[in-house]
Amino acid sequence: GNSVTQMEGPVTLSEEAFLTINCTYTATGYPSLFWYVQYPGEGLQLLLKATKADDKGSNKGFEATYRKETTSFHLEKGSVQVSDSAVYFCALSRSSSNTGKLIFGQGTTLQVKP
Amino acid sequence: DGGITQSPKYLFRKEGQNVTLSCEQNLNHDAMYWYRQDPGQGLRLIYYSQIVNDFQKGDIAEGYSVSREKKESFPLTVTSAQKNPTAFYLCASRTSRDRTDTQYFGPGTRLTVL
């Protein structure tokens, strides 16, 4: 069945460091791929998305490219800030089911130190 | 401002009691979803509804019930049959006009069983 696997956290970085959070997936068909961010005590916010192979989603300095050949959607940012500290979730849509349901990875906690 | 509201933010329940979590959206979205989040884990789907007066079980529906009498509202009842209800509950919605299946989330309700 469809699934999402994220790198385990926590990921601890110094401010201005380069960030990569790995996400790989298994899916039938052509799902949409998403990154959501969750700040402490809050709900999830959509960070970026990509809907077809080779699409690049970007927002707030974060980027991710839909790689069908490697079934990956890795999240990157060139220079992280303390305010980026949060939990990041990779997700995919169950495109074949027509229900709009999403499958989430387990989340990766990012801690950025000044 | 359009958005999704969940109330209350914190909820305490005694064992054996039913409790209802509120979710309201003014985005004119057709579909609504309830997820459960446990520490260090991803989101698990409890129930979802694609249209008024219709809803389907998700992956972990046992011990929960929902209703969808109005498009704007999708309350979740946690019954006494739910063995371990302490968790963070998230509501989300989606418009059927968006073929990418993007979901938008509320701020969440943290339920604690005493």
Query: Which pLDDT tens digit goes with each residue over B99-111?
Result: 888 999 999 999 9
Q: What is the pLDDT of residue A100?
A: 81
Q: How many Cβ atoms from other residues are within 10 Å of residue B25's Cβ? A: 22
The pLDDT of B8-34, averaged and rounded, is 94
Nearest by Cα to B7 from B112, B110, B113, B114: B110
Q: What is the pLDDT of residue B91?
A: 98
Write the pLDDT tens digit of every residue in B46-63: 999 999 999 999 999 999
Write the pLDDT tens digit of every residue in A51-92: 999 999 999 999 999 999 999 999 999 999 999 999 999 999
Whether B84 and chain A come into contact, CB under 8 Å, resolves to no
Q: How many Cβ atoms from other residues are within 10 Å of residue A59's Cβ? A: 14
Q: How far apart are CA B99 and CA A86, in angstroms?
A: 28
Q: What is the pLDDT of residue A9?
A: 87
The tokens of B88 are what?
A: 């963070």
Pair B73, B88: CB distance under 8 Å: no
The pLDDT of A6-23, averaged and rounded, is 95
Q: What is the pLDDT of residue B99?
A: 81
- Out of A42, A51, A101, name the one closest to residue B48 (CB): A101
Backbone angles phi, psi at A83, to 5 degrees: -70, -10
Pair B79, B63: CB distance under 8 Å: yes
Distance, in angstroms, between A74 CA and closest chain B CA? 17
The DSSP secondary-structure symbol of B77 reads E
Pair B66, B76: CB distance under 8 Å: yes
Chain A residues closer than 8 Å to B3 by CB: none
| Stretch among A23-27, A29-33, B52-56 having the lowest mean pLDDT | A29-33
Q: What is the pLDDT of residue A104?
A: 93
Write the pLDDT tens digit of every residue in B82-97: 889 999 999 999 998 8
The pLDDT of B17-41, averaged and rounded, is 94
CB spacing of A93 vs B101 below 8 angstroms: yes
Pair B70, B52: CB distance under 8 Å: yes
- Out of A42, A51, A93, name the one closest to residue B107 (CB): A42
* DSSP string for A7-76: --S-EEEETT--EEE-EEEE-SS---EEEEEE-TTS-EEEEEEE-STT-EEEETTEEEE-BTTTTB--EE
Nearest by Cα to B77 from B6, B5, B21: B21
Q: How far apart are CA A43 and CA B99, in angstroms?
A: 23
SS3 at position A82: helix
Q: Is the pLDDT of residue B5 over 90?
A: yes
Q: Is the pLDDT of residue A96 over 80?
A: no
The tokens of B38 are what?
A: 């446990």
Nearest by Cα to A9 from A78, A105, A92: A105
By CB atoms closer than 10 A (0-12, 13-18, 19+), residue A24 is middle
The tokens of B97 are what?
A: 């006009």
The pLDDT of B4-30, averaged and rounded, is 94
- Which residue is associated with the tokens 């349901």? A101
Q: What is the pLDDT of residue B114?
A: 86
Q: What is the pLDDT of residue B56?
A: 96
